[in-house]
Amino acid sequence: MDFSLSEFQGMLADSVGKFVDNEYSFARRMANADSSTGYGEDTWASFCELGWTALPFPEADGGLDGGPLETMLLMQQFGRGLVVEPYLANIVLAGGVLCRAANAAQKARWLQPIIAGDLQAALAIAEPQNRYDHAAVETRAVRDGDTWVIDGKKSVVFNGGNADLFVIPAESDGISLFALASDTPGIDVQRYRTVDGSTAADITLSGVRVDDGALLGAAGEGLATFDAVIDDAILAVAAEAVGIMQALTDKTVEYCKNRVQFGVPIGSFQALQHRMVDMLTASEQSYSLLLWATMACADRTDEAKRAVSAIKYQVGTAGKLVGQEAIQLHGGMGMSWEVDVGHYFKRLTVIGQILGNADWHLDRLLD
């Protein structure tokens, strides 16, 4: 057991932290979220220059060979800064599938441009009927001569409205993973904003016809990849949630030190002090569990699978507490769009809703 960071990890955490502190003000974040894409294209270009879009990929694929720990360090800072750019969708989700399942030609065609920032991508996780059971795929891919015909619906695809490339899991005697250009005939994209200031889309596939060049890995054998990528994504959003909880706790303590009512700072009321101690505890407990879960996955221990469910349960429940208390202790100010805490709270809420909520993962722990 060793909690120390390598030199590379230290530099990474430092550089992402500095970016968030110096270049990514709340005003910038809101302007990026308000733009037509829902993220800052300049900001995304900076991520590429800084090498962050290459972080989790092997050197052979032009990556920096990072693993779960490196992603954690980055996402925790992104959480602290409430970064709205589609890192999860492009790099962790779509990139994660391509990196694991694509062949060399496919990587050259799709993964390299994602890393370079020339291509926006999205992985379809949910379907209207399957709630959190991502493996219960009803979208079907049927073989027809040399081609595949894909039909189905995908729900709330993160970054789906911006994506040039969709990674689509479909049922064909097991799950097959397809990479589809978003302008392929038969794909209908209904794009919308999401409550956390980001964007997503519902996608309908009707008789979408592609050849084997679109198939990532072997037909019917995509579930292991899909599962592994979902686990990576859970760790990533958990790290983001921990960064958000730390930020909300700090901001709330700061606010309560300065807000004066009844002639004293409201932070002097014990009723509120205990609540802030509870926020800190929830946030610290989540950070501890995050370290365990991330290391368990990085070291591929037997506990890795359970650790993923444990941390998602933890950030779901702790995130709700911290988010709600942050609003409450800010009083009316917490309800205002102009103030950042409400937006942190909304992102925490979204993290609680995706990739399996707290109940879902607690059930997994009973299995």
Partner 1 sequence: MHVSLTPEESAFRDEVRAFFRDEVPRDIHDKQARHIALEPEDQVRFQKILYEKGWAAPNWPVEHGGTGWTLVQKHIFETEMANSNMPRIVPFGLGMVGPVIYSFGNDEQKQRFLPDILQSNVWWCQGYSEPGSGSDLASLKTRAELDGDEYVVNGTKIWTTLAQYADWIFCLVRTSTGTARKQEGISFLLIDMQTPGVSVKPIITIDGSHEVNEVHFENVRVPAANLVGEEGKGWTYGKVLLQHERTGTAGVARTQYRLRQLRDQAGQSVRGSEPLCKDRNFMRRIAAVEVELKALEYTELRTLAAVSAGKAPGAESSILKFKGTELQQAVDELFVEAAGYYALPYVPEQYAPGFPDDQRIGAGTETDSASHYFNFRKASIYGGSNEIQKNIVAKHVLGL
Ligand X SMILES: Cc1cc2nc3c(=O)[nH]c(=O)nc-3n(C[C@H](O)[C@H](O)[C@H](O)COP(=O)(O)OP(=O)(O)OC[C@H]3O[C@@H](n4cnc5c(N)ncnc54)[C@H](O)[C@@H]3O)c2cc1C
Binding residues (CB under 8 A) for partner 1: these are 126, 128-133, 136, 155-156, 190, 192-196, 200, 202, 260-263, 266, 269, 271-272, 320, 324, 327-328, 331-332, 334-338, 342-343, 345-346, 349-350, 353-354, 357, 359, 362-363
- Closer residue to partner 1 (CB): 27 or 271: 271
- Closer residue to partner 1 (CB): 60 or 335: 335
DSSP H or E stretch at residue 158? strand 147-158
For the CA atoms of 231, 237, 242, 245, the dihedral, rounded to the nearest 10 degrees, stands at -140
Instruction: Output the CA–CA distances (angstroms, integers) from residue 158 to 122, 126, 286, 287, in the order listed.
Output: 6, 10, 25, 25
With CB cut-offs between 5 and 8 Å by kind, which of partner 1, ligand X, none does residue 359 bind?
Answer: partner 1
Q: From residue 246 to residue 265, what is the string marking binding to ligand X with x (rule CB under 6 A)?
A: -------------x-xx---
Question: Nearest-CB residue to ligand X?
Answer: 331
Instruction: Output the CA–CA distances (angstroms, integers) from residue 254 to 143, 251, 276, 285, 337, in the order listed.
Output: 60, 5, 11, 21, 19
The answer to whether the beta carbons of residues 153 and 196 sit under 8 Å apart is no
Alpha carbons 335 and 208: distance in angstroms, whole number: 45
- Closer residue to ligand X (CB): 18 or 274: 274
With CB cut-offs between 5 and 8 Å by kind, which of partner 1, ligand X, none does residue 25 bind?
Answer: none
Question: How many chain residues bind ligand X (CB under 6 A)?
Answer: 12
With CB cut-offs between 5 and 8 Å by kind, which of ligand X, partner 1, none does residue 133 bind?
Answer: partner 1
Does residue 93 interact with ligand X by CB under 6 A? Answer: no
To partner 1, the closest distance from the beta carbon of 64 in angstroms equals 31
With CB cut-offs between 5 and 8 Å by kind, which of partner 1, ligand X, none does residue 337 bind?
Answer: partner 1
Residue that is written with structure tokens 């949630």 in the block: 241
Check residue 159 and give left, alpha or beta (phi > 0: left; psi -120 to 50: alpha).
left
Show the tokens assigned to 328: 């409450």
Range 271-300, binding ligand X (CB under 6 A): 271-272
Q: Residue 208's closest CA among 262, 151, 249, 252?
A: 151
Binding residues vs ligand X (CB under 6 A): 259, 261-262, 266, 269, 271-272, 328-329, 331-332, 335
